[in-house]
Copies of this chain bind each other. A is one copy, B any other.
């Protein structure tokens, strides 16, 4: 099961880079992070420009199940998220693209392209923190599916 995270912005803070690296190291699923740096423009155009770059990266990844992180999406408990990934794996999905927008969120075209919108609750989180959060949830999902005690009920 290959996972590719497509994210707006280059992580610059050590704390973010370290946390992502740590969970990636512990993860058995191959995980790539594609960082997209879009030129800064006015806010109304920014999301559209970012969206075009995201959609092009999704296309490059070939046939993948696309999960976009979005406040309007559906929340899942960690065991449900693990079961969700596994259900799609069993159903023939061998590759997931996970999309994280920039500071302004996602353009509607990315939402439309996604197979699933995933929400981390009604709070607003910094997009760089969301990167750590999703990698942790993926690692947790792996441990849940392995029956490992990392995840406690």
Which residues of A come within 8 Å of B, CB atoms? Answer: 13-16, 18-19, 22, 75-78, 81, 103-105, 119-126, 129, 132-133, 136-137, 140, 151-152
Contacts and interface: CB of A to CB of B under 8 A. Distances in A.
Nearest to A137: B123
A72 to B, nearest CB: 12
A132 B22 CA distance: 17
B122 A76 contact: yes
A125 B136 contact: yes
Residue among A75, A104, A133, A151 having the largest count of chain B Cβ atoms under 10 Å: A133
Contacts of A122: 75-77, 121
In the complex, the count of this chain's copies comes to 2
A75 B151 contact: no
Given A15-B14, A15-B18, A103-B152, A129 B124 contact: no
Contacts of A140: 124
A121 B14 contact: no
B120 A123 contact: yes
A13 B15 CA distance: 9
Contacts of A22: 13, 15
A119 B22 CA distance: 26
Residue among A81, A122, A152 having the largest count of chain B Cβ atoms under 10 Å: A122
A75 B121 CA distance: 7
A132 B151 CA distance: 19
Contacts of A105: 152
A103 B149 CA distance: 11
